[in-house]
Amino acid sequence: MRTFVLGFGIHICTQKHYDMKFVAEIDIMPLPALLDPQGKAVASNMGNMGLPEIVGVRIGKHVTLEIEASDRSVAEKKVAEACEKLLVNQIMEGFSFRLEEA
Protein backbone atom coordinates (compact mmCIF):
# COMPACT_ATOMS: atom_id res chain seq x y z
CA MET A 1 0.00 0.00 0.00
CA ARG A 2 1.39 3.41 -0.90
CA THR A 3 1.30 5.96 1.89
CA PHE A 4 1.31 9.69 1.43
CA VAL A 5 2.36 11.86 4.35
CA LEU A 6 0.52 15.09 5.03
CA GLY A 7 1.47 17.69 7.61
CA PHE A 8 1.18 16.93 11.34
CA GLY A 9 2.14 13.28 10.92
CA ILE A 10 -1.12 12.26 9.20
CA HIS A 11 -0.77 9.33 6.82
CA ILE A 12 -3.34 8.58 4.12
CA CYS A 13 -3.23 5.26 2.30
CA THR A 14 -4.69 5.79 -1.14
CA GLN A 15 -3.55 2.91 -3.27
CA LYS A 16 -2.47 -0.68 -2.79
CA HIS A 17 0.74 -1.66 -4.51
CA TYR A 18 0.96 -5.11 -6.07
CA ASP A 19 3.96 -6.83 -7.56
CA MET A 20 2.20 -8.45 -10.52
CA LYS A 21 0.00 -7.24 -13.37
CA PHE A 22 -2.30 -9.41 -15.44
CA VAL A 23 -4.61 -9.07 -18.42
CA ALA A 24 -7.83 -11.08 -18.48
CA GLU A 25 -9.62 -11.79 -21.75
CA ILE A 26 -13.23 -12.69 -20.91
CA ASP A 27 -15.78 -14.24 -23.27
CA ILE A 28 -19.43 -13.89 -22.25
CA MET A 29 -21.93 -15.95 -24.22
CA PRO A 30 -25.65 -16.73 -24.04
CA LEU A 31 -26.29 -20.04 -22.30
CA PRO A 32 -26.64 -22.90 -24.82
CA ALA A 33 -30.22 -23.66 -23.72
CA LEU A 34 -31.38 -20.12 -24.51
CA LEU A 35 -32.30 -18.65 -27.86
CA ASP A 36 -29.88 -16.16 -29.36
CA PRO A 37 -32.06 -13.93 -31.61
CA GLN A 38 -29.11 -11.83 -32.77
CA GLY A 39 -27.10 -14.93 -33.67
CA LYS A 40 -30.11 -16.47 -35.41
CA ALA A 41 -30.61 -13.31 -37.52
CA VAL A 42 -26.95 -13.30 -38.56
CA ALA A 43 -26.97 -17.04 -39.34
CA SER A 44 -30.09 -16.72 -41.48
CA ASN A 45 -28.39 -14.09 -43.63
CA MET A 46 -25.15 -16.00 -44.21
CA GLY A 47 -26.59 -17.70 -47.30
CA ASN A 48 -27.53 -14.30 -48.74
CA MET A 49 -23.92 -13.20 -48.27
CA GLY A 50 -22.54 -16.16 -50.19
CA LEU A 51 -21.64 -18.12 -47.06
CA PRO A 52 -24.16 -21.00 -46.95
CA GLU A 53 -21.63 -23.23 -45.15
CA ILE A 54 -22.08 -21.16 -41.97
CA VAL A 55 -25.22 -22.56 -40.40
CA GLY A 56 -24.94 -21.54 -36.74
CA VAL A 57 -23.98 -18.28 -35.06
CA ARG A 58 -24.00 -17.27 -31.40
CA ILE A 59 -23.15 -13.71 -30.50
CA GLY A 60 -21.70 -12.65 -27.16
CA LYS A 61 -19.38 -10.09 -25.60
CA HIS A 62 -15.63 -9.87 -25.14
CA VAL A 63 -14.21 -7.91 -22.19
CA THR A 64 -10.57 -7.15 -21.37
CA LEU A 65 -9.57 -6.35 -17.79
CA GLU A 66 -6.21 -5.25 -16.40
CA ILE A 67 -5.59 -6.56 -12.89
CA GLU A 68 -2.94 -5.82 -10.29
CA ALA A 69 -2.60 -8.62 -7.75
CA SER A 70 -0.11 -10.28 -5.46
CA ASP A 71 -0.21 -13.53 -7.49
CA ARG A 72 -2.05 -15.39 -10.26
CA SER A 73 -4.49 -17.12 -7.93
CA VAL A 74 -5.69 -13.82 -6.48
CA ALA A 75 -6.04 -12.34 -9.97
CA GLU A 76 -8.14 -15.32 -11.12
CA LYS A 77 -10.43 -14.95 -8.10
CA LYS A 78 -10.88 -11.21 -8.75
CA VAL A 79 -11.75 -11.79 -12.43
CA ALA A 80 -14.31 -14.45 -11.51
CA GLU A 81 -15.77 -12.14 -8.85
CA ALA A 82 -16.06 -9.26 -11.35
CA CYS A 83 -17.84 -11.55 -13.80
CA GLU A 84 -20.23 -12.97 -11.22
CA LYS A 85 -21.05 -9.63 -9.58
CA LEU A 86 -21.12 -7.23 -12.52
CA LEU A 87 -20.22 -8.36 -16.01
CA VAL A 88 -22.36 -11.47 -16.51
CA ASN A 89 -26.10 -11.99 -16.15
CA GLN A 90 -25.81 -15.54 -14.82
CA ILE A 91 -29.45 -16.29 -15.54
CA MET A 92 -28.86 -15.90 -19.29
CA GLU A 93 -25.08 -15.95 -19.82
CA GLY A 94 -22.00 -17.98 -19.07
CA PHE A 95 -18.36 -16.90 -19.16
CA SER A 96 -14.84 -18.16 -19.62
CA PHE A 97 -11.57 -16.28 -19.36
CA ARG A 98 -7.86 -16.45 -20.05
CA LEU A 99 -5.38 -14.73 -17.77
CA GLU A 100 -1.93 -13.68 -18.94
CA GLU A 101 0.83 -11.91 -17.06
CA ALA A 102 1.23 -8.37 -18.43
* CATH at residue 73: 3.30.1280.10
Task: Write out the E strands in 1-102.
Answer: 2-5, 11-15, 20-30, 61-69, 93-101
User: How many CA atoms are closer than 13 Å to the CA of 20, on its beta-carbon side?
Assistant: 13
Q: What pLDDT was estimated at residue 4?
A: 47
Which residue, 23, 99, 88, is CA-closest to 61? 88
For the entire predicted model, the pTM comes to 0.79
Q: Domain containing 77: what range?
A: 18-101
State the average pLDDT over residues 4-24: 68
Q: Is residue 10 part of a domain?
A: no
Residue 79 pLDDT > 70: yes
Q: Is residue 41 part of a domain?
A: yes
Q: What pLDDT was estimated at residue 18?
A: 76
Q: What pLDDT was estimated at residue 19?
A: 85
Q: Is residue 2 part of a domain?
A: no
Q: Is residue 8 part of a domain?
A: no
Question: Domains in the chain: how many in total?
Answer: 1
State the average pLDDT over residues 48-70: 97
State the average pLDDT over residues 78-92: 97
d(CA 46, CA 19): 48
Instruction: Give residue-wise pLDDT tens across range 25-45.
Output: 999 999 999 999 999 999 999
User: In whole numbers, what is the pLDDT of the chain averaged over residues?
Assistant: 89
Q: Which residues does residue 48 pair with via DSSP β-bridges, in sequence order?
A: none
